[in-house]
Amino acid sequence: MRFSFISLTALYGVVAAVPTKLPKRSFYPEMLNLTCVISPEVPRNDYVVNPPARSDVTENQDGVTMILDIGVLDVTTCQPLPNVMVEMWGPNAQGNFGPTFLRGSTTTESNGIAEFQTIFPGYTSEGANHIGILIRSTSSESSGVVHVGQLFFTDPLNEIIGKYALAGYDRNEHTRILNDDDPTFVAANSNGYSSIVHINYLHDDWPQGIVGYITVGVDPTKN
C-alpha cells in the first residue's frame, strides 16, 4: 500500500484558507524582541489625524491579508509598554493612500503588543513598501505623540508580492523604489535599529496570509 502526501493547501484550498475578518486576538503571546534600542523618528507622511478606532483596517481593499503585531518597548525600563495607543496607516496594493481605508488605531495589550488586521502594502510614488505608525503616551487619542515611524519589508518579499495579480499588486502604476533608494528607509534603519518587519506565514505560503511582527522602542516620557 502506498501513502501519498497531501498538503494542507490541497486539503483546504486557498480560498477557504484566506480569512477576511479574523477574530481579534494577539498572535504572539509575548514580545519577540526585547533589544532595548529607541526607534528612529521619521517624517509623518500621508497621516490623517485620529483615524477610526479599530484593529481591522482592511475595509474593502484587496491584497495579501496581514496580521501586524507591533510590540511597544519602553526604552526607559526595557519592558513592554501596555495600554498605549498605536495608530497605523498604509497604502493599498496599488500604492495609494485613502481617506479611511487601511487606517486605524488600537491600544497595546498587557503584553505590550498592538495587533492590526490589514493587507501587505504596495510601494508608493514616494517610497518603498511601508506602513506608517504613530504611538501615543496613553490610550487616549489626545495624548502626546511619543513616536512616529515607518515599517518596511525586505526587497525580495516586496518584489514577489508585487507580481501577485490575484490581489491587484501588479496594477501598481508607480515606479518601484527599492529600500536603499528610499531616504525614509535609510533614516528608519539607523542607530542599531531595524525597521524591517519579521514575517511568518499564516498558512502554507504568503498568498494565504502573512503575520508580521516588529518591536518598536519608544521613550514614553518624551513628547
Ligand X SMILES: *[C@@H]1O[C@H](CO)[C@@H](O)[C@H](O)[C@H]1NC(C)=O
* Range 172-201, binding ligand X (CB under 6 A): 193-194, 198
Closest approach, Cβ 11 to ligand X, in A, equals: 32
* Biggest distance spanned by C-alpha atoms of the chain: 69
State the sign of the Cα–Cα–Cα–Cα dihedral 39, 40, 43, 45. negative
- In this chain, which stretch among 16-24, 29-37, 41-49, 101-109 interacts with ligand X, using CB under 6 A? 29-37
Q: What share of the chain is helix, strand, coil (3-state, %, to 5)?
A: 15, 25, 55
- In this chain, which stretch among 32-40, 45-53, 98-106, 180-188 interacts with ligand X, using CB under 6 A? 32-40
Cell numbers linked to 92: 493599498
Cell numbers linked to 141: 487619542
The answer to whether the beta carbons of residues 216 and 132 sit under 8 Å apart is no
The answer to whether the beta carbons of residues 106 and 136 sit under 8 Å apart is no
Q: Count residues binding ligand X (CB under 6 A).
A: 7
Whose Cβ is closer to ligand X: residue 47's or residue 193's? 193
Assess 154 for contact with ligand X (CB under 6 A): no
Closest approach, Cβ 8 to ligand X, in A, equals: 26
Which residues contact ligand X (rule: CB under 6 A)?
Answer: 33, 35, 37, 193-194, 198, 215
